[in-house]
């Protein structure tokens, strides 16, 4: 192998390592879902997840779930995420589906509690758990 090819491979490997370190630092330090989890578990009195774009449908509840943020088999940290599912579904059914503990954050429109973890009935995703009434 010529010195030019070896040099190119070394530069490519170095660039991949730098990018990998940057990605890891970004996930560990700037992950908005993890920052929301830290805020929620610190007793912050206002909604902590502000950027979800889906809105709970008629009959949906909003569930706040703690979910592991993983890189392959390695758990990096715990995230807080909001999901919409039928309000008749139990938090334990949502927990089983998501793979982390969940609580019913908002059961109906205008639900007023002192600490809401999800903003204005917003959620990251709709869950179809009609076959999981538990």
Spatial separation of the C-alpha atoms in residues 77 and 29, rounded to whole Å:
10
pTM, to two decimals: 0.69
Q: Which two tokens stand for residue 18?
A: 């730098």
Backbone angles phi, psi at 73, to 5 degrees: -85, 0
For 12-58, write each residue's pLDDT tens digit: 888 888 777 777 666 566 677 767 777 777 766 565 666 667 888 88
**With 70 as the cut, is the pLDDT of residue 75 above it?**
yes
Burial class of 38 by CB neighbour count within 10 A (0 to 12, 13 to 18, 19+)? middle
Structure confidence at residue 7 (pLDDT): 81
More confident residue, 83 or 26: 83
pLDDT at residue 53 in the model: 75
Q: What is the mean pLDDT of the chain?
A: 78
């Amino acid at each position: 192998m010529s010195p030019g090819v070896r040099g190119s491979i070394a530069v490519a490997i170095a660039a991949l390592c730098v990018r990998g370190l940057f990605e890891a630092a970004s996930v560990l330090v700037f992950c908005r879902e993890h920052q929301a989890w830290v805020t929620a578990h610190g007793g912050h009195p206002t909604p902590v997840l502000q950027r979800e774009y889906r809105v709970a449908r008629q009959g949906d509840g909003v569930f706040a779930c703690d979910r592991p943020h993983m890189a392959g088999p390695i758990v990096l940290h715990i995230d807080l995420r909001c999901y919409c599912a039928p309000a008749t579904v139990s938090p334990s059914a949502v927990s089983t589906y998501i793979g982390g503990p969940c609580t019913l954050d908002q059961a109906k429109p205008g639900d007023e509690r002192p600490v809401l973890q999800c903003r204005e009935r917003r959620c990251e995703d709709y869950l179809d758990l009609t076959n999981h009434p538990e």
